[in-house]
Amino acid sequence: MALKKTLEGSSHAVRWLVMARLLVIILSECVILIRGMSSPEPRIGPVVVHLILGALATLNFGYLLVLPRINRGMLAFIAFQVLVDICAETALVFFTGGVESSYVNLYFVSIMAAPMLLSRRNSALFASLATVGLSVVTTLYLTGTGLGLLEMPYLVPEPPPLLPTMARMLATVTAFFLVAYLSGLLAQRLHMERSLNEEILQNMAEGVALFDASDRIIFLNKEFENIFSPNHPLQLGDTLEKVFSKPGDAALRQLIASRTSARFELEERESDGRPPLEIRTSFLEEAENPSGTVMIAIDRSLQQRAELAERRAERFSAVSEMAAGLAHEIRNPLASVRGSIQEISSDFPPDSANRKLANIIIKESDRLDRIISDFLRFARQRPLHPVACDLQTLLEEVAMLLRARPDATGVEIALRREEGETTVRCDSDQMREVFLNLGLNALSALNGTGSLLIRCPHPGALPPDTTKIITAGDADGVTVTFSDTGSGLPPGAQDRIFEPFYTTKTHGSGLGLSIARRVVESHEGRIWVRSKPGQGASFSVWLPLAGPFRKGAPVGEKG
């Protein structure tokens, strides 16, 4: 796309160069005719000059016809034009008085055009070619060679004087190279400024587009195209209807067409994957003439995730403050109730209804105590002690514990190792709890039958927003995946499965996966789930190799 825009920009500049050249040719013809008709003996001027100007005009019309068909070799095409110009200017200078001719000034136009359309070093090259052409003409005049070809002998009755001619020649050549240097410097400065501006705009995280007064797009960056037309590349000159072609984009088309400055938000659109956007438009106006509208589209996905994380952090903070009070206000009386019931139950016969009720109270008290323990673990996470840990070895221990459980008798539990690094810096005890919790959830979903596959590392499992999970540097990581063949998560559960107290089980506190996420995120990792109803679930954990603290610290160093 960048190459295409470069070619379009070059074509535009060449078209202007051709039009300017045609204008100069017309003005030159007019000057020759006016000068010839105003002389004592009216004449149309030198025929050969008219032939040269006519040939140049014809050639420029040919340039305009060929220009749209040039996809490659644009720079060579421009260089050819400038070279032809210098040759034509040399011929005009020869037939109109040599170094004293007013057509010498046309050399400066070609010398300035070279760096603007090509590169800075080309200005010196074409200044040298102009010097050679003018030197040849001056030499012919000084030696008298070929002067018989001139149709205006009254201008040059005899070879010109040597010293004045050489002085004029030297001054003109000096001016050639001075203009070449200054125009090259200016062209380089303009090119750097244009490249810098385009580089900044092209690499902005926001989508930027500029529409002209006729509502056609004249500039857009990559992000704008990714947001509004990811599957169909946009072209400079496209209309509003083509840029905003989706059914729900009528408001955007109307906004640009109304040429107003505004700021509003668009909700996420799942039909074409467009993220939530903040739209800003600014109407540009020069004097009383409208010049266009700038549109900036800001992806609000990251902002919304940040706001969600902030709200979650606030909830976590509130939970932490409640934890100590709950521990004292509930756990201690609950222990007293359990102890009292246990003591009272010993007075009842083993088969009596009162003894059974007492056992139910004791069992429910134990369940409440486990919920409170999980709640405290969630609210008060233990500090990390990261050391060198081989995830493969850790997962072998987890798989062994899972296979030993009564509810895993009919479940096939397999541990598959892929090629890749499996040693990371982590708190092995806490990560063991995370993996064990994922395995227990899988066994609960399988309900005694099916299979559980544990893969480490799993290079094919990449978390959502992979480019945004690492905040510093270009770290590598390891992904561990627990995939079961159960019934999968019900609709809507995938987005809430890691929320505190949300559970899809009949029995459970809903804190296991919340605790797992807290542990993984404290390791600067990611945990996510992919599931479809009836097709099982796949929980993945990504951990950075460098560990949760200093990137690049030696593996095994205590945090």
Type of residue numbered 101: S
User: At 387, phi and psi to the nearest 5?
Assistant: -140, 175
Q: What pLDDT was estimated at residue 556?
A: 39
What confidence tens digit (pLDDT) does each residue in 250-295 have?
777 777 777 777 887 777 776 666 778 888 888 776 545 456 788 8
Sign of the C-alpha dihedral, residues 206, 211, 216, 221? Answer: negative
| Closest C-alpha to 540, from 471, 466, 455, 449 | 455
Distance separating alpha carbons of residues 181 and 111, to the nearest angstrom: 10
The answer on pLDDT for 145 being more than 90 is no
Name the E strands within 393-462.
411-417, 423-426, 450-456
Task: Look at the block and give the residue holding tokens 């920009």.
Answer: 9
What b/e sequence results for 240-252 when a residue is b if at least 16 CB atoms lie within 10 Å of its CB, and e otherwise?
beebbeeeebeeb
207-299: CATH superfamily: PAS domain (3.30.450.20)
CATH architecture of 303-379: Orthogonal Bundle (1.10)
What confidence tens digit (pLDDT) does each residue in 303-353 have?
777 777 777 777 766 666 666 566 656 766 777 777 787 778 777 787 788
The answer on pLDDT for 153 being more than 50 is no
Q: Which helix (H) or strand (E) holds 196?
A: helix 162-202
- In this structure, of 86-90, 147-151, 202-206, 377-381, the range with the lowest mean pLDDT score is 147-151
Mean pLDDT of 18-27: 81
The answer on pLDDT for 557 being more than 60 is no
Express the helix, strand and coil content of the chain in percent, nearest 5 each.
55, 15, 30
What confidence tens digit (pLDDT) does each residue in 209-247 have?
888 877 888 878 888 888 887 777 887 778 887 888 777
Q: What pLDDT was estimated at residue 482?
A: 93
Please give the radius of gyration of the chain, using alpha carbons only, rounded to the nearest integer: 41
At the top level of CATH, the class of 387-544 is: alpha beta
What confidence tens digit (pLDDT) does each residue in 174-195 have?
988 888 888 878 777 777 766 6
Mean pLDDT of 127-147: 81
Mean pLDDT of 42-47: 64
The confidence band for 435, taking pLDDT boundaries of 50, 70 and 90, is very high
- In this structure, of 287-291, 300-304, 361-365, 434-438, the range with the lowest mean pLDDT score is 287-291
The confidence band for 28, taking pLDDT boundaries of 50, 70 and 90, is confident
Query: What does the domain layout of the chain look like in residue ranges?
Result: 2-202, 207-299, 303-379, 387-544
Q: What pLDDT was estimated at residue 84?
A: 86
The confidence band for 82, taking pLDDT boundaries of 50, 70 and 90, is confident
Mean pLDDT of 385-393: 87
Report whether 82 contacts 126 (CB < 8 A).
yes
